[in-house]
Amino acid sequence: MLMMDSNALLQFLEQLGIHYQRHDHVAVYTSEQLRDVASPLAGVSTKNLFLRDKKGTRHFLLVLDDTKTLSLKTLAARLGTTTLSLGSPERLMTHLGVEPGAVSLLCLVNDPDHKVELLVDRDVWQAEMLQTHPLINTATLALSLADVKRFLQATGHTARVVDIEAS
């Protein structure tokens, strides 16, 4: 399968009529590093985790407010699945076509077979705007929630909204 790169993704967003603001910055690999870049963009800054179950048969992309911490054990119980762990860089590249640090819900453009389940923190899902990487970790986009929903509809993905308690 041919994976989209950042430029192809931006063209795809434009074809869908999705508007965004863009902030270019140094490469970041964690949400904490992104906070240090001092983005001028509006919206919730998100943490994006590519997860797998113990057997590696189910894969999840979790999008949550980057100020929250997560208990993988609690999340696994809520999902009714086995132990969750971070997916390897190789598995991430195979399923979403990006390297660590560039994970975001926009990576779902590279999952046409819907093998990755999208989980979104309720606080993110209720925000007017959210920040997300465009398949690279040297830029961040701000998108309205309406445009995020339009993107998901175009890719055929459905968000499962989950409650992640604030720490």
Mean pLDDT of 30-50: 82
Give the SS3 label for residue 141. Answer: strand
HEC secondary structure over 91-119: HHHHHHCCCCCCCCHHHHHHCCCCCEEEE
Q: How do the domains of the chain map onto residue ranges?
A: 6-162
Rounded Cα distance, 94 and 57, in Å: 14
Give the SS3 label for residue 67. Answer: coil
Helices marked H in 19-143: 31-36, 72-79, 89-96, 122-125
The amino acid sitting at 76 is A
Rounded Cα distance, 62 and 17, in Å: 25
pLDDT tens-digit map of 111-144: 999 999 999 999 999 999 999 999 999 999 999 9
| CATH class label, 6-162 | alpha beta
- Among 23-37, 69-83, 101-115, top mean pLDDT goes to 101-115
Rounded Cα distance, 25 and 22, in Å: 10
Provide CB contacts within 8 A for 153, sequence distance 6+. none
pLDDT tens-digit map of 1-23: 679 999 999 999 999 999 999 99
Q: What are phi and psi of 104, to 5 degrees?
A: -165, 170
CB 104 within 8 A of CB 28: no
